[in-house]
Amino acid sequence: MGVTIFYRGSLNDLNRVGDFEDCVLNLVLELGGQARVWRSNDDEDPQRMIRGVVLDLYPGQETTSLLISPEGWIVNLCEIEEAEKGQLAEPPWCFVKTQCGPVEGHVALVEMLAALKREFLSNLEVTDEGGYWETRDPAALTAKFHEVQAAIDGMAEGLQRHGLSPEAAEDHKILVARIERIAQVVHRTLTASRDASSQD
């Protein structure tokens, strides 16, 4: 369980990659985030440059890749080498986990992707586990963040309360069984809690 934004797409015009980078940098700086301009290429084929911007919008939120392959595709940080070598068959899905950051960070990333779609990435596809991309409903997004945090807190409490002896913690099967039992308890508790609040 988490809140992740998945996205993939390609630049409408590869000749505008510099404009794309400038736009991203301006948006990130306006939001108070941090950005790094990136340039790398395959040693055997220097023409296959990966370029773009890597951003850290909000503390706790994963790093966002807006790197562009020579084909114009947005690529993940973990796929830079494959992109340099031309080994990607299609635009890959990139993703950013946002649940450990503030809700504002999730909203900022969605709105940034929407602005980039209008200007540079008309074929951009986005799947948002928080539902904000589809609905632009901040109340539902906030509720989703609270639900995820409650699950994380419940799991942490369960692991602390029902801890294992050092010997049992070293046995993979025992550890997995314990985590599965705790996850079931957390799930039942959250479901009962949600059901009770929906009846009010």
Q: What is the 3-state secondary structure (H, E, C) of 107-150?
A: HHHHHHHHHHHHHCCCCCEEEECCCHHHHCCHHHHHHHHHHHHH
Question: Confidence band (pLDDT; 50, 70, 90) for 2?
Answer: confident
Are the C-beta atoms of residues 9 and 93 closer than 8 Å to each other?
A: no
**What is the per-residue pLDDT for 194?**
62
Question: Confidence band (pLDDT; 50, 70, 90) for 177?
Answer: confident
Read off the pTM. Answer: 0.78
Q: Is the pLDDT of residue 169 over 60?
A: no
- Cα–Cα distances (Å) from 77 to 58, 68, 74, 109, 149, in that order, read 18, 11, 10, 17, 27
Burial 138-150 (b: 16+ CB within 10 A, else e): eeebeebbebbeb
Cα–Cα distance between 10 and 83 in angstroms, integer?
13
